[in-house]
């Protein structure tokens, strides 16, 4: 017994590991209170068409911690997912984004803009998710056709038929569906054909390597032509340079998002 335990025992007294666990536990406690304390905000990052005109924006959650300052989503979204807090936070982002949509709809120059909202797989799989979306649309008066829900391929590792059924229910509300970070997950082309998607987002890792790496360029080209064949809208994310934009444009990319056009901001300047 003692012999068996000896070698595989995890050392819980490593001060570094313990320090990290403590910091994470504290972050979780703080995140639970962040919404009520007004520490959360939604930033919007512009999306443009081939001529550079703004067509909408992606809503991105921001957390300003009273002591730690800005905490990146890559750090707090996983905690929110593990604790299921993301269900509450996600609904809040959705509501904020829909209110923004209504505000844009009232101004002629922004009336046609869309808003994209990230939906965590944890949130998507909640049985009341479709009702939640419907309730927010009703509450805010936002036009469903201008709301894009961004989901990721990681959804599909669970029950593809269930995911498909839920997507169909969402489409029945009139909202649009976008597949975020495309090409990085379990992208099964068979599912792509069966899902009622409206848009594919080319992941920023391919855009970043576009000009240096032939394989990335080939993947981007393939995603763009695949989107065209499946009659899906295609948007590239993480566009930082004009050279990347030109390369994407020459391959027929329709829409663009990235630091080249604007950072995520509290409000988008006209």
Q: Which of 30, 91, 95, 181 binds ligand C2E (CB under 6 A)?
A: 181
Q: Give dist(CA 14, CA 77) in Å, integer.
A: 26
Q: Which of 113, 151, 258, 268 binds ligand C2E (CB under 6 A)?
A: 258
List strand residue ranges (DSSP E) for the chain, in order.
40-49, 54-65, 69-71, 114-118, 147-152, 176-182, 199-202, 233-236, 255-256
By CB under 6 A, tell whether 134 contacts ligand C2E.
Answer: no
Closest to ligand C2E by CB, 160 vs 185, is 185
Judged by CB under 6 A, the stretch of 127-135, 187-195, 220-228, 256-264 that binds ligand C2E is 256-264
**Torsional class of 38: left (φ above 0), alpha (ψ -120 to 50), beta (otherwise):** left
Site for Mg ion in 120-179 (CB under 5 A): 150
Q: Give dist(CA 178, CA 221) in Å, integer.
A: 19
User: What is the SS3 assignment for 27?
Assistant: helix
Closest to ligand C2E by CB, 6 vs 153, is 153
Q: Which of 54, 100, 114, 118 binds ligand C2E (CB under 6 A)?
A: 118
User: What is the SS3 assignment for 187?
Assistant: coil
Closest to ligand C2E by CB, 81 vs 251, is 81
Give the pair of three-digit tokens for residue 182: 């495309």
Interface residue list for ligand C2E (CB under 6 A): 45, 60-61, 72-74, 77, 86, 90, 93, 118, 120, 150, 180-181, 204, 237-240, 258-259, 264
Interface residue list for Mg ion (CB under 5 A): 118, 150, 180-181, 237
């Amino acid at each position: 017994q003692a012999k068996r335990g000896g070698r595989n025992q995890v050392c819980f007294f490593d001060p570094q590991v313990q320090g990290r666990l403590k910091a994470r536990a504290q972050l979780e406690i703080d995140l639970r209170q962040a919404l009520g304390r007004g520490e959360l905000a939604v930033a919007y990052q512009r999306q443009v068409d081939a001529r550079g005109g703004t067509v909408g924006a992606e809503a991105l959650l921001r957390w300003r911690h009273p002591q730690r300052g800005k905490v990146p989503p890559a750090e707090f979204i996983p905690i929110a997912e593990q604790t299921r807090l993301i269900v509450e936070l996600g609904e809040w982002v959705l509501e904020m984004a829909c209110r923004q949509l209504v505000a844009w709809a009232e101004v002629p120059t922004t009336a046609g803009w869309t808003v994209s909202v990230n939906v965590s797989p944890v949130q998507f799989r909640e049985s009341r998710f479709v009702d939640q979306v419907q309730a927010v649309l009703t509450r805010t008066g936002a036009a469903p056709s201008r709301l894009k829900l961004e989901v990721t391929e990681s959804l599909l590792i669970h029950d593809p038929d269930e995911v498909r059924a839920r997507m169909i229910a969402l489409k029945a509300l009139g909202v649009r569906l976008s597949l975020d970070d495309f090409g990085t997950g379990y992208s099964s082309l068979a599912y792509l054909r069966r899902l009622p998607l409206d848009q594919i987002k080319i992941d920023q890792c391919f855009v970043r390597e576009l000009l240096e790496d032939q394989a990335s360029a080939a993947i981007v080209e393939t995603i763009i032509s695949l989107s065209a064949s499946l009659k899906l809208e295609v948007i590239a994310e993480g566009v930082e340079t004009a050279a990347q934009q030109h390369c994407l444009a020459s391959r027929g990319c329709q829409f663009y998002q990235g630091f080249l056009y604007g950072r995520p901001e509290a409000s988008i300047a006209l």
